[in-house]
Chains A and B, each alone.
Chain A
Amino acid sequence: MSAPAANCPNCGAPVKFLWSSAVQTTCEFCHSILVRTDVDLKKVGEVADLPPDASPIQIGTEGAYQNKSFVVVGRIIYEWDQGGWNEWHIVFNDGSSGWLADAQLEYDLSWLSKPPQPLPASTRKGQAFDWQGKNYQVTSLTKAHYKGVEGELPFEYWDKSDLLFADLRTTSSDFGTIDYSEQPPLLFLGRAVQFDDLHLKNLREFEGWT
């Protein structure tokens, strides 16, 4: 799965890729945001200091879901007026990638999905969608700010500011998000999961909890 190392165009430090399809990564040393081009890495920005966070997950955390193992290769950090959350970019052993959200230790797994019908340009709480025989209901609308990125992402993602997300739920722990930061909006579908469902290893440690 590892791709050959390259060097950071800003500081010259080696930049390793855990996932061969990564489009963007960050330099561990100088915090430059690097985008892959056909020939080399291009610096497109710099990550501000990441806000303190207490997610037990980190880049390199491994886990398994439904008998497929995965590794955490990157993340996007969001903040809203009631706190923040992490969207961890995870890569499965079959090369596919998905997202593991950790919002105050409530975990959701989701995958970019093709909307069965075109998504409405806007939505409201309580709106229902029938997708794949399931009734999804919009349970919350969150205005968030992009706070930072770390590691490898499947797309260029570094210049966002205000964003709108609609979270959807069903009667059986299915989970969905409509991301209104793109036009047309993106749909992510997945499951709400319990910590133990993910069989995570290589987690962060917490003072007093080891």
Chain B
Amino acid sequence: MPAVQARSITCPNCGGPVQLRGFAHTLSVVCPQCHTVLDTSTPEVAILQKFQQKTQIQPTVPLGARGKFGNTAYEVIGFQIRQVQSGDDTYQWNEYLLFNPYHGFRSLTEYNGHWTFVEVQTALPEPAHARGRPAVRYGGKTYAAFDSMTAQTVYVLGEFPWQIRTGDSAACQDFIAPPMMLSSESTGGEITWSLAEYMAGSQIWQAFKLPGSPPPAYGVFANQPSPYGGNTGSAWRTWLWLNVALAAMLFLFMIMAPGRVAFSDHYSYPPGATRDRAFVTPSFQLAGRASNVELSIHTDLDNNWAYFNFALINNKTGQTFDFAREVSYYRDSDGSDGSRNNSVIIPSVPSGQYYLRVEPEMASGSPYMSYDLELRRNVPNYGFFGVAALLLLIPPVLTTFRKGSFEAARWRESDYSPATSLSGGEA
């Protein structure tokens, strides 16, 4: 059998030629010359509607363009602009009719740079509820009710397998499970369900090999997948694993670098000491590269305080690190305050031979105090781990926050917008 021939007709309004791309499926076509809508369901072409709109609109994807979706090539054969009136607001979207002589019809919708690929469905969704909102179950997924509207065709170009006219209107309902959207369209008691998959402009440009780059998408579209969608879970999982790693590092640190004792000794502070209480320790070696040094003080103070001035002095260079610590410990029947011990970390002390100058100080009339001084080289800096743990929190918190604002932007456009219900159902 010879190939099915493409059909060509003559416009009964202007006499111009009209090429048909949809073979015998085409039941109406818009004359490209005079924009008259023609009825092609019978061999005698009749006028369905004299097109009112004079403005010439060029669809972003031209009629006749072929694009590949999955493994199937589809040709753009029809284009319509559909409009929704919502209170004082009017908004419009573009709808492209796609055709393949074997696989049939699909459509593309475009709104503010957001695209969807639409396929009519043969199964029926079941009514359901999701988080107290109406929803439907379909193909094992729950689709949340998003909005309902009356969509009116306000501009048409090309061919359709039904008799299209501007002014046609349909009651539509959208249910979403991003990146999918399940929509019902009802005309004259007939309900058609279709499933739309979100597509970025770049995918459309690639499918049709369009020149240039797609215009940017504005806002958040109903079934646009959240860029943070699957990420909050994974961001928090990553955070958990990084914390485990951090804890392991901390543990290793504690084993590997417990801090070598460079110097320690036991001292006493006799009561009523009046003479110069400052003394110097024997010299000791601080080895390795420049790193920290921790001096800890352990006293037997009881309801008393002591103040220590220290200087860590390099034997050779005379480089001096001055620091001081107070130790105070008080207790009564209600409990205790302060601690008998204190410590100080001096960062970045170069290696070398050092000694310590110690000047303890107590209130006059204090009882006998005995104390230990211990100087450790290269102790783990636990503060670093705390800061690291805090920094690790930033990405998951940010992602969670961004996801929240993305979802808020999505649902702002919905009939079920939280803002809408709070303000008393104003559309």
Count chain A residues whose beta carbon lies closer than 8 angstroms to a beta carbon of B.
35
**Is B123 touching A171 in the complex (CB atoms < 8 A)?**
yes
The reply to whether A204 and B1 form a contact with Cβ atoms under 8 Å apart is yes
CB-based contact A172/B123 at 8 Å: yes
**Which of B101, B161, B163 contacts A206 (CB under 8 A)?**
B101
> Which B residues between 383 and 415 are near A, CB-CB below 8 angstroms?
none
Q: Is B125 an interface residue (CB 8 A)?
A: yes
For residue B154, give the distance in angstroms from its CB to the closest CB of chain A.
22
Measured CA separation A91–B104 after assembly (Å):
24
B163 to chain A, nearest CB (A): 7
Which of A105, A139, A169, A208 sits near B103, CB closer than 8 Å? Answer: A105
Give the complex CA separation of A207 and B2 in angstroms: 9
Most chain A CB neighbours (cut-off 10 Å) among B27, B124, B190: B124
Give the Cβ gap from A186 to chain B, nearest Cβ, in Å: 21
- Closest residue of chain B to A108 (Cβ to Cβ) is B122
From known contacts A54-B4, A173-B123, A192-B123, infer whether A206 and B190 are also in contact, taking CB-CB under 8 Å: no
Which residues of chain A from 167 to 207 have a CB within 8 Å of any chain B CB? 169-175, 192, 194-196, 203-207
Which of A54, A175, A192, A210 lies in contact with B24, CB distance below 8 A? A54
Q: Are A207 and B3 in contact (CB under 8 A)?
A: yes
B91 part of interface (Cβ distance < 8 Å): no
The CA-CA distance from A104 to B41 in the complex, in Å, is 13
Whether the Cβ atoms of A52 and B24 lie closer than 8 Å is yes
Interface residue from A82, A108, A194, A207 paired with B4 (Cβ < 8 Å): A207
Complex: how many Å from CA A205 to CA B6? 11
Task: Choose one: A83, A139, A175, A203; the contact of B162 (CB below 8 Å).
Answer: A83
| B122 and A206 within 8 A (CB) | no
Count, chain B residues at interface, CB 8 A: 33
Of residues 142 through 187 on chain A, the ones whose CB sits less than 8 Å from some CB of chain B are 169-175
Interface status of B126 (Cβ within 8 A of chain A): yes
Chain A interface mostly: loop
- B191 interfacial contact with A, CB 8 Å: yes
Contact assessment for B122 and A208 in the assembled complex, using a CB-CB cutoff below 8 Å:
no
Chain B proximity of A101: nearest CB distance (Å): 11
A54, B126: Cβ atoms closer than 8 Å? no
| Bound CA–CA A105/B163 (angstroms) | 17
When the two chains form their complex, are residues B4 and A205 in contact, meaning their CB atoms are under 8 A apart? yes
The answer to whether A169 touches B123 (Cβ under 8 A) is: yes
CB neighbours (8 Å) of B189 from chain A are 125
Asked if A204 meets B4 with Cβ closer than 8 Å, knowing A56-B102, A105-B103, A195-B102, the reply is yes
Query: Is A139 a contact of B124 with CB atoms below 8 Å?
Result: yes
B residues less than 8 Å from A210 (CB atoms): 3
Measured between alpha carbons, how far is A203 from B132 in the docked complex, in Å? 50
Contacts of A139 in B (CB 8 A): 124, 191
Q: Give the chain B neighbours of A113 by CB distance below 8 A.
A: none
Contact A56 B24 (CB under 8 A): no
Decide if A58 touches B163 in the complex (CB within 8 Å). Answer: no
For A169, the chain B residues whose CB sits under 8 A away are 122-124
Which residues on A sit within 8 Å (CB–CB) of B138? 171
A6-59 residues at the B interface, CB under 8 angstroms: 51-54, 56, 58
The list of the 7 closest CB pairs from A to B, nearest first, reads A105-B104, A192-B122, A54-B23, A54-B24, A205-B3, A206-B101, A173-B123
**Additional A-B contact list (13), CB under 8 Å, known A169-B124, A206-B6:** A54-B23, A58-B1, A82-B162, A104-B25, A139-B124, A173-B123, A195-B104, A204-B1, A205-B2, A207-B3, A207-B4, A209-B101, A210-B3
Interfacial residues, chain B to chain A (CB-CB below 8 A): 1-7, 22-25, 27, 41, 100-105, 120, 122-126, 137-138, 161-163, 189-191
